[in-house]
Amino acid sequence: MASLARADLESLLHTKNLARTLTRFEPGARPDLEYASTGHAGLDARLSGGIPRGQVSELVGRRSSGRTALMLRMLAAATARGELVALVDALDMLDVESAAAAGVDLDRLLWIRGFVVPNPGLCRDMNHRALVQAVRAFTLVLEAGNFGLVVFDAGEAPADAIRRLPFTTWLRLQRMVEGSSTACLLVGSDRMTRSPHGLSLQAPALRAAV
Amino acid sequence: MYACLYSAGINHDHRGARSDRSENLLNAAGTASAAVHRGSLAVVAQQFSPRYESRGDLVVIDVRGLERLFGAPRAIGDELRRDAADRGLRVHVAIAGTQTAAIVLALARPGVTVAVPGGETAAIAPMSIDLLAKIDHDDAAVAAIAAFKRWGLKSFGEIAALPPDELSARLGQQGLRWHAIARGADVRPLVPDVEDERFESALELEWPIEGLEPLSFVLTRLLEPLSLGLEQRDRGVAVLHVELRLVTKNTHARRLELPAPMRDAKTLRTLALLDLEAHPPEAAIDRVAIVIDPTPGRVWQHTLFARPHPTPEQLSTLVARLGAAMGQDRIGAPVTVDSYRPGAFEMKPFATEHCHDRRGARSARSESSREISASAACAAVNRDVALRRCRQPVPARVAADANGRPIKVTTDRRGFAGGAVIRATGPWKTSGEWWTSGWDRDEWDVALSDGGAYRVFLDHATSRWFIDAILD
């Protein structure tokens, strides 16, 4: 009965030309998509080649879960391929030395620093306006096109600030990336959005690293 | 058919037993005089044909079709010489079927010389091979003349009589070139001089305009024809000057230096508007003028084997837009600095041109890793952990045991709840720049019961603890 209702719903979405919003898990690489290697052979094998280009993917993890290390590794892999990459650092928390140590070619990294919120807060007190500006910068980079990997890092942004963004923001991002050769990655503490054929990566805890 | 004018009055050789100062003055005067002579030769050439090429102290003119105006080639030559004389120039004039023959004859013979069509080789055959040095102003020509003289050759005709394959075997491709010159054949086509064009445009407005939106239309109208002219001349914009005359009679002038030559009207308009958005005029505008400093166009070879990069135009526009949205100091490429100061970095403008070559990328990366700072080298030991820097360290309350090892970390900051220390490594003592407002701290990496791992430090100057970064 449930499957029938789902089939009806999918049929209705197809009729209304809204089928692109449907997400269905299909194991294995899609032949119509290109993939950007993450720089981690084991992860690439699990992801059928990496993160898909022309799709919005997300990397989600708690604090100290290793999401930043994985993000830097992806940036390093992209610059090693000769691609230009951009990082919209919404809270201005990139550690340049960590990036260099991870192998990121810094000359090929366009770093856009969001506004650090002055006293009293640093991360959780980030105001809504700064996040909106960061999203605007992100859309400008996507509009320019031809970047290999574009990352929006809101890793320490509070969940309520993310939720305050209009839902259409994410739809617009998906539309902008669709059909391009850019791999788009959102990094956050909680899930934000992803394209129908994008990936959601959950970073595990990394407490043992200390 | 070509004519060549050679002004024997241009002389660069001012050697003599004079003092250094007087020699310098004489050289300067001679150089200026030579430049005037060259300019006058070009003016003479312009009177007869738009297709002429200046080559140092001579000018080659394409005189095909002038027979209908002046008659026989000798009449053309006489007319050229008369026009030059009217301008105070004493010139040698030669007319021949090839540029090379015309040049050799003009260099060698005063007055007007005409080579009959098809007889160029015979006309220049008796000329001395020393003229090669005047045709090719390089050391190779001097060496070749010496070689020819060693072989007993004295005239162009004797070089032309040599078998070209043997000459090529001894002198390479240059030998074939000199053989062609000795035969009076052209070794390259005429490249007509093109007058430097000024790229500027202005528009007087009937009604003063305020705001950038109406200005956008005016800029488009001015820039589109300029862009077309630049494209036809294979030129790009190096500097874009925007001059706005205001109703207050003041002029609001902006100067945009572009990182790469570009000529796309939309890109130029966007860059000009973004700049004016950041530096708006103080009153309404009643005249808009655009002046462009041109530069040779950019030759861009795309590769089939790498993903395309954003073009310099796209990147310039993007950087300008990001600068307007976020502030110029918030965008760029990060640079590590050679300092032990924790979290030290610099920013530089993001380059608009990058090589596609992965080897280039690798070499650039290895270069940057050679410049990596000492503390980055420490960070590189554990590549699986990256830091998230708190640009303003978060004040923390830390309880420590008798050995100074943190056992509990808490803060008043939302999102940094803190907790008991599960594991801690440290301390790493670091200090520096004591001669300024330096730092002196003990750093600890701690894993807390809240699930987070942090880099905390004890600042010896204030005896207070701070969270410096999140290990992630």
For CA atoms B79, B82, B88, B93, give the dihedral sign. positive
DSSP assignment letter at A157: S
Are A83 and A147 in contact by the 8 Å Cβ rule? The answer is yes
Closest CB from B306, B311, B445 relative to A82: B306
- Per CB-CB distance under 8 Å, the chain B contacts of A96 are 334-336, 343, 345
Which residues in chain B are closer than 8 Å to A71, comparing Cβ atoms? 386
Please judge whether A96 and B360 are an interchain contact, meaning their C-beta atoms are less than 8 angstroms apart.
no
**pLDDT at residue A10 is higher than 90:** no
Q: Residue A118: what pLDDT?
A: 42
Question: Checking phi first, is residue A50 left (phi over 0); if not, alpha (psi -120 to 50) or beta?
Answer: left
Tell me whether the omega of the peptide bond preceding residue B110 falls within 30 degrees of 0, making it cis.
no
To the nearest 5 percent, what fractions of chain A are helix, strand and coil? 40, 15, 45
Are B271 and B258 a contacting pair, CB within 8 Å?
Answer: yes
- Chain B residue with CA closest to A123: the answer is B415
- Per-residue pLDDT band at A105 (split at 50, 70, 90): very high
What 3-state DSSP class applies to B428? strand
pLDDT (0 to 100) of residue B1: 87
Q: What is the pTM (predicted TM-score) of this model?
A: 0.66
How far apart CA A201 and CA B214 sit, in angstroms, is: 47
As for the ipTM of the complex, it is 0.84
Instruction: Kindly tell me the burial class for residue B84, based on how many C-beta atoms sit within 10 Å of its own C-beta (0-12, 13-18, 19 or more).
Output: buried
Say how many CA atoms lie within 13 Å of A104 toward its Cβ: 35
Task: Indicate whether A109 pLDDT > 90.
Answer: yes
Q: What is the pLDDT of residues A46-102, one digit of tens each?
A: 888 889 999 999 999 888 888 999 999 999 999 999 899 999 998 889 999 999 999
**Does A97 contact B452 at a Cβ distance shorter than 8 Å?**
no
- CATH topology for B2-183 is Alpha-Beta Plaits (3.30.70)
Per-10-residue mean pLDDT of chain B, 472 residues long, equals 81 43 49 65 86 86 87 90 88 91 90 88 89 79 85 89 86 85 86 79 91 90 92 87 92 88 90 90 92 82 78 87 88 91 90 66 44 43 74 89 89 81 90 86 91 91 91 88
Model pLDDT for residues A160-171, shown as the tens digit of each residue: 778 888 888 888
As a whole number of angstroms, the distance between CA A113 and CA A127 comes to 15
Name the burial class of residue B193, with classes exposed (0-12), middle (13-18) and buried (19+) by CB atoms within 10 angstroms of its CB.
middle
A48 class by beta-carbon count within 10 Å (0-12 exposed, 13-18 middle, 19+ buried)? middle
Q: What's the pLDDT score for residue B27?
A: 52
Cβ atoms of B269 and B223 within 8 Å: the answer is yes
Chain mean position to CA B431: 44
Distance CA B240, CA B253 (A): 10
B198-298+310-356 sits in which CATH class? alpha beta
Q: How far is B301 from chain A (nearest CA, A)?
A: 16
Give me the pLDDT at residue B373, please: 44
Residue of B nearest to A131 (CA): B326
Interface contact flag, B384 A69, Cβ < 8 Å: yes
Distances (CA, A) of B115 to A24, A88, B45, B81, B84: 84, 72, 20, 16, 21
Question: Which residues in chain B have Cβ-Cβ distances shorter than 8 Å to A64?
Answer: 447, 451-453, 470-472
Q: Residue B428 phi/psi, 5° resolution?
A: -105, 115
List CB contacts (< 8 A) between A125 and chain B. 413-414
The alpha-helical segments, DSSP class H, found in B90-211 are: 99-108, 120-124, 132-135, 139-150, 156-160, 164-171, 173-182
Kindly list the domain boundaries of chain B, sorted by start residue: 2-183, 198-298+310-356, 387-471
Beta-carbon contacts of A74 under 8 Å, excluding residues fewer than 6 positions away, are A36, A38, A39, A51, A149, A151, A185
How far is residue B388's CA from residue B374's CA, in Å, rounded to a whole number? 18
CB contact under 8 A, A64 and B446: no
Please identify which residue in the block is written with the tokens 């090839």: B98
What pLDDT, on the 0 to 100 scale, is given for residue B421?
92
